[in-house]
Amino acid sequence: MNEKKVTLTIDGIQVVARADATIMEAAEIAGLCIPRLCYHSRLSEAGACRVCIVEVEGMKNFVPSCCTRVAEGMVVRTNSPDLLKARRDIVELLLDNHPEDCQTCARNGDCELQTLAQQFGIRERLYQGERKHFPVDISSASIVRDPDKCILCGKCVRVCSEIQGVNALSFSHRGFRTNVGPAFDLPAAESVCVNCGQCTLFCPTGALTERDDTEKVWQALSDPSKVVVVQIAPAVRVALGEPFGFQPGTDLTGQTVAALRRLGFDRVFDTQFSADLTIMEEAHELLHRLAHGGKLPMFTSCSPAWIKFCEHFHPDFLENLSTCKSPQQMMGALIKTYYARKQGLEAASIYSVSIMPCTAKKFEAARPEMKASSFQDVDAVLTTRELARMIKQAGLKFSELKPEEFDDPLGESTGAATIFGVTGGVLEAALRTAYEAATGKELERVDFNQVRGFEGIREAEIDLDGTRIKVAVVHGLANTHRLLTEIRAGQRHYHFVEVMTCPGGCLGGGGQPRPPQGTEPLDRSFYQKRAAGIYTIDSRKIIRQSHKNPQIKQIYAEFLGTPLGEKSHHLLHTHYHHRTPKGFASIREEIFNL
Amino acid sequence: MKKNRLDTAEAGVSLTSLSEFIDRARPLRNAQSLLMGTLHHTQELFEYIPREAVELISEKLNLPTAHIYGMITFYNYFSLKPRPAYQIHVCKGTACYVSGGSRVLERLKQELKIDVGEVTPDGLFGLNVTRCLGCCGLAPVMQVNEDVYVRVVPERLPAILNSYRQKGIRGKASTRVGAFEHPGQSRYDNKRQATGRRR
């Protein structure tokens, strides 16, 4: 990093900035937020949209402030009348090649292009020219891509490549025919796309959105022959409040349960219960692999986009994946078997919905392997954003709801399950149980602070009463690709690795509410608030270790038998397979730390 | 119709040759700067860029296919579809246009039953429009591969097309561009050599 400083003037204010800073960064110091579309502080500079142009004294043309460096004595103006007019023209030209369907667009009210048009006072469409027309790609179970709404800012291409390393998207063709999409213009379902949905967080318009399954769920809710059961993932409860004006990280578990009952769900269960179950199975699987010379390192398997990434990009590591299903699928399998039997319900009459921070969960639920109950175990998956939309559609005053409790018997959970929502949490939860299962001793402190944090790759050594095991935590798939490459090359050695696809873990999932205006996705302090919410819920729980959950003990006693037993094998474990097309990820030069 | 996918043994040989080419070039440069030359070489080998070749390049250079696809589609020079044996270019520059170039084009569309930018189902002819071939005094002009036809009237077209039908796919003149293999050679020399060559 360049430590040299320069002094420049922005709108008459003297600013001291790093010599390698851009004008946009320097303007932030002066308390100015220059309008922008294609810029993101954690992605490479594109200079594609030209919305952030500024006037620099002595330069003939306006320059894009996002990719122009500051210089000593530079005099910058960010809001002269000519400049404002030029910016407005640029946005008008973007609008010219954009559908006029704001009212019926998924991003209505939450669209950066719309906001700019509003801020710039664009009240009529002056330019009317030819418009591009491409088919909408609805092939993916998770993500819908409507190229007509794309303004070619390239943020999705960059996040897919630079943060996730997947490179499913690229610009193709040129000029007026330029389009963003997978190789060979194939449908997303036939590409290496892993459905992580980070592109849906970065897209400034409605070109990339989650597949909307709310209609399906409303149908089921109004069907009297169906018992509609719902489960909520850990990371949802600390983010669902954001669209209703709550601070990120506010614990709204009880309000969420109440809202779901008002919407008409017959039973409300907690994915955290099955997260506890996942820990029982996964911790024992780890101990089994350690004791019997199984494939190591063992990778966690809760993150479905990571699973698909492994299947496309690193098939030689498939045997290293834990065979445990994700908590969503464990819950799905139990609802239509254990719970149905207990309540005397027909599995066929149960409609199982899950609320997830994740777009890839939609794909996971639709995988053909996920039919342990001999029905589709989970019938519909809604993201946090979709649930917020349903609550608004129903006219519920979310902030005024009285907190309610989950239903029994799949609603009880421990602190270990809550932290599944944050990077490092699954590993920590597994250690809390594996330690006691391996040593027979009580843990004095259940917090494993060494695996917490937002660094891209973290490692620790854990002493299981004499046996030292090396563990690692990784989040973001570009980081994961790097870690796997180094493990393969023999440069890194671990026994157990937690992988979460999205930076920050599930709390930063592709299905979470988009940060409010002025806050970027991947904003560290924003994500830290969600993480703090999760750790607070954990620390307030009386029981913080999965194996001490009384309902977990009960389900093993009356239904499952033992962890890794035959019933578990059938209902709670799965297998993976090599997928085509084979993916090739490029290595990021340095580790991405949130 | 020739498919966009390879199926012949000949193609397998070309893929092996492409693979060897990349292995030879790999130590010289980084993957990114090697891509352009590799794509040129691929198009020379197959006369278009088949998907199998893209997949092979992706694996060998460790570059994502989406990225390679972006590169291919950016440049007009690269084709993802098999090229016709005889590519017809009809000039619609000003001089040719006023002296009946569009009537020539219409007649060709009728005769070949294809539109501009398409290839006949037998893979023999492709139809394209060009803006100027540089001999406006001889308008209207059309070019079939390397052969230039001047003062074309629509009535002459069936006979011209038949002469190529008789030669068939195997009789076509090579349109190879050797710029990558022989960087010292000019495009002109290369063309002149190529015109005489029959495969």
Range of the domain at B25: 9-74
Measured CA to CA, the distance from residue B153 to residue B164 in angstroms comes to 18
List the single residue in A with minimal CA-CA distance to B52: A581
ipTM for the complex shown? 0.91
Do residues A304 and A360 lie in contact, with contact meaning Cβ atoms separated by under 8 Å? yes
Whether B179 is in a domain gets the answer: no
What angle, rounded to 10 degrees, do the helices at B9-25 and B51-61 form? 30
Give yes or no: residues B94 and B157 share one domain: yes
So what's the pLDDT on residue B31? 84
Give a yes or no: residue B95 inside a domain. yes
CA dist B120 and B84 (Å) reads 8
- Which CATH number applies to A214-572? 3.40.50.1780
One domain, residues B68 and B98: no
The verdict on a CB contact (< 8 Å) between A582 and B73 is no
Measuring CA to CA, which residue among B169, B177, B178, B164 is closest to residue B199?
B169
Residues B127 and B156: their CA atoms lie apart, in Å, by: 17
- The tokens describing B108, both together, are 């060709």
Task: Check whether residue B44 and residue B100 sit in a common domain.
Answer: no
Domain count within chain B: 2
Biggest CA–CA distance in chain B, Å, is 57
Chain centre to alpha carbon of residue A534: 15
Size of interface A-B (CB pairs under 8 A): 56
Could you tell me the pLDDT band of residue B1, with boundaries at 50, 70 and 90?
very low
What's the CATH class of domain A5-79? alpha beta
pLDDT at A345 over 90: yes
CB B129 within 8 A of CB B102: no
Residue B110, pLDDT score = 94
Determine, for residues B65 and A586 on separate chains, whether the beta-carbon distance falls below 8 Å: no
Residues B99 and B44 in one domain: no
Q: For residue B190, is it within any domain?
A: no
The string of pLDDT tens digits covering residues A60-73 is 999 999 999 999 99
Catalytic positions of A, written as ranges: 282, 285, 302, 322, 361, 364, 369, 506
Q: What pLDDT sits at residue A125? A: 86
Tell me the pLDDT band of B5, cut-offs 50, 70 and 90: low
* pLDDT score of A290: 92
Tell me the pLDDT tens digit for each residue of B137-195.
Answer: 999 999 998 889 999 999 999 999 999 999 887 665 444 333 333 333 333 333 333 33
Domain boundaries, chain A: 5-79, 124-210, 214-572
Q: Is B2 within the bounds of a domain? A: no
Q: Taking the C-alpha atoms of A292, A293, A299 and A304 in order, what is their torsion angle to the nearest 10 degrees?
A: -70
3-state secondary structure chain B: CCCCCCCCHHHHHHHHHHHHHHHHHCCCCCHHHHHHHHHHHHHHHHCCCCHHHHHHHHHHHCCCHHHHHHHHHHCCCCCCCCCCCEEEEEECCHHHHHCCHHHHHHHHHHHHCCCCCCECCCCCEEEEEECCCCCHHHCCCEEECCEEECCCCHHHHHHHHHHHHHHCHHHCECCCCCCCCCCCCCHHHHHHHHHHCEC
How far away is chain B from the Cα of A180, in angstroms, using its nearest Cα?
9
At A2, is the pLDDT very low, low, confident or very high (cuts 50, 70, 90)? low
B90 and B163, same domain (yes or no): yes
Q: Is the dihedral of CA A396, A400, A402, A406 positive or negative?
A: positive
Chain B residues with CB-CB distance to A181 below 8 A: 66
Asked whether the beta carbons of A6 and A71 are under 8 A apart, the reply is: yes
Count of CB atoms situated within 10 Å of the CB of A474: 27
- Residues B154 and B125 reside in one and the same domain: yes
Say if strands A179-181 and A170-172 run parallel, antiparallel, or are unpaired. antiparallel
Burial of A440 (0-12, 13-18, 19+ CB in 10 A): exposed
Per residue in A234-252, pLDDT tens?
A: 999 999 999 999 999 999 9
How much is the pLDDT for B174? 44
Which A residues 430-469 touch B at CB under 8 Å? none
Is residue A533 pLDDT above 70, yes or no?
Answer: yes
Contact A192, A506 (CB under 8 A): no
Query: CATH number for the domain including B135?
Result: 3.40.30.10
Q: What is the pLDDT of residue A280?
A: 96
- Chain-centre distance for alpha carbon B100: 26
* Residue B30 main-chain phi, psi, to 5 deg: -80, 160
Residue B119 lies in a domain: yes
pLDDT per residue as tens digits for the range A166-203 = 999 999 998 999 999 999 999 999 999 999 999 999 99
What is the distance between the alpha carbons of residues A54 and A469, in angstroms, rounded to a whole number? 55
Candidates A172, A179, A185: best to mutate against B (most CBs of B within 10 A) is A172
- CATH number corresponding to A124-210: 3.30.70.20
d(CA A434, CA A418): 17
The answer to whether the CB atoms of A584 and B59 lie below 8 A apart is yes
Q: Quote the radius of gyration of chain B (alpha carbons, Å).
A: 19
Contact A581 B55 (CB under 8 A): yes
Q: Which tokens belong to A4?
A: 């040299």
Q: Do B102 and B137 fall within a single domain?
A: yes
Query: Could you tell me the pLDDT band of residue B13, with boundaries at 50, 70 and 90?
Result: confident
- The token pair at A291 is 């004791």
Point out the domain boundary residue: B40, B74, B108. Answer: B74
- B197, pLDDT greater than 90: no
Other Cβ atoms within 10 Å of A299 Cβ, number:
28
Return residues 180-239 of A near B (CB < 8 Å).
181-185, 191-192
In a domain, B196, yes or no: no
CA distance A352 to A220: 10
Distance from CA of B137 to the nearest CA of A (A): 33
Res B48 pLDDT > 80: yes
DSSP codes joined into one string, A354-393: EEES-SHHHHHHT-TT--TTSS-S--EEEEHHHHHHHHHH
Together in a domain, B90 and B64: no
Where b means 16+ CB within 10 Å and e means fewer, A112-121 reads: bbbebbeebe
**Cβ-Cβ contacts under 8 Å for A130 (sequence gap 6 or more):** A176
Residues B163 and B99 in one domain: yes
Asked whether residue B192 is assigned to any structural domain, the reply reads: no
Residue A538: enclosing H or E segment and its boundaries? helix A524-540
pLDDT above 50: residue A230: yes
- Each residue's pLDDT tens digit, B89-118: 999 999 999 999 999 999 999 999 999 888
- For residue B84, the distance in angstroms to the closest alpha carbon of chain A comes to 21
Task: Answer yes or no: is B156 within a domain.
Answer: yes
Q: How far does A154 lie from chain B, in Å, by closest CA?
A: 13
